[in-house]
């Protein structure tokens, strides 16, 4: 299982990336390999590898992922047409970066939820 985590370097500014939003709990930036016209990653500032690792203390941060997703969707004017939020967990989901992140995808019709290979 690959255990790369480049997101901490983006959050801390060690790697320069266009930060779309940042506060005390989360950071948002463009996915480097976009799968839709709008493809933003919303990431907790605290390293939590997978959804399996969340605790009750993370509930405020997890809620912030959604409120920031809604703000970014509105900013991109895709809030009415619609969008998809995805959080992958572990190998079968295809998770590549072991630092929880929410994908916000939109800007076109996204088709069926799952493509199973
Ligand atoms: P997941 O498969 O859910 O772990 O998604 C990881 C996502 O992170 C993929 O869509 C990658 O394209 C994206 N990604 C990996 N490295 C970077 C990076 N340096 N900057 C922006 N997005 C990245």
Enter the tokens of residue 52: 């399996």
Whether the per-residue pLDDT at 18 is higher than 90: the answer is: yes
Q: How far apart are CA 56 and CA 102, in angstroms?
A: 18
**96 within ligand 1 shell (Cβ under 6 A):** yes
Residue 94 has what DSSP assignment? T
Question: What average pLDDT score do residues 85-110 get?
Answer: 97
- Confidence (pTM): 0.95
Q: How far apart are CA 117 and CA 108, in angstroms?
A: 23
Least confident of 31-40, 86-95, 106-115: 106-115
Q: How far apart are CA 106 and CA 77, in angstroms?
A: 10
Give percent of the chain with pLDDT exceeding 70.
97
- pLDDT-derived band of residue 39, with 50, 70 and 90 as boundaries? very high
Distance 3 CA to ligand 1 centre (A): 12
Whether the per-residue pLDDT at 53 is higher than 60: the answer is: yes
Whether the per-residue pLDDT at 92 is higher than 80: the answer is: yes
Question: What average pLDDT score do residues 32-57 get?
Answer: 98
The structural domains of the chain, ordered by start, are 6-106 (3.30.428.10)
Residue with structure tokens 């992140």? 101
Distance 103 CA to ligand 1 centre (A): 9
């Amino acid at each position: 299982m690959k255990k790369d985590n480049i997101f901490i370097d983006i959050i801390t500014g060690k790697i320069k990336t266009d930060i779309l939003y940042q506060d005390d709990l989360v950071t948002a930036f463009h996915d480097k390999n976009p799968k839709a016209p709008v493809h933003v990653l919303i990431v907790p500032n605290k390293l939590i590898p997978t959804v399996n690792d969340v605790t009750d203390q993370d509930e405020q941060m997890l809620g912030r992922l959604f409120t920031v997703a809604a703000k970014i969707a509105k900013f991109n004017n895709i809030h009415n047409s619609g969008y998809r939020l995805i959080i992958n967990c572990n190998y079968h989901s295809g998770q590549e970066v072991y630092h929880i992140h929410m994908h916000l995808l939109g800007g076109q019709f996204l088709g069926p939820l799952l493509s199973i290979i």
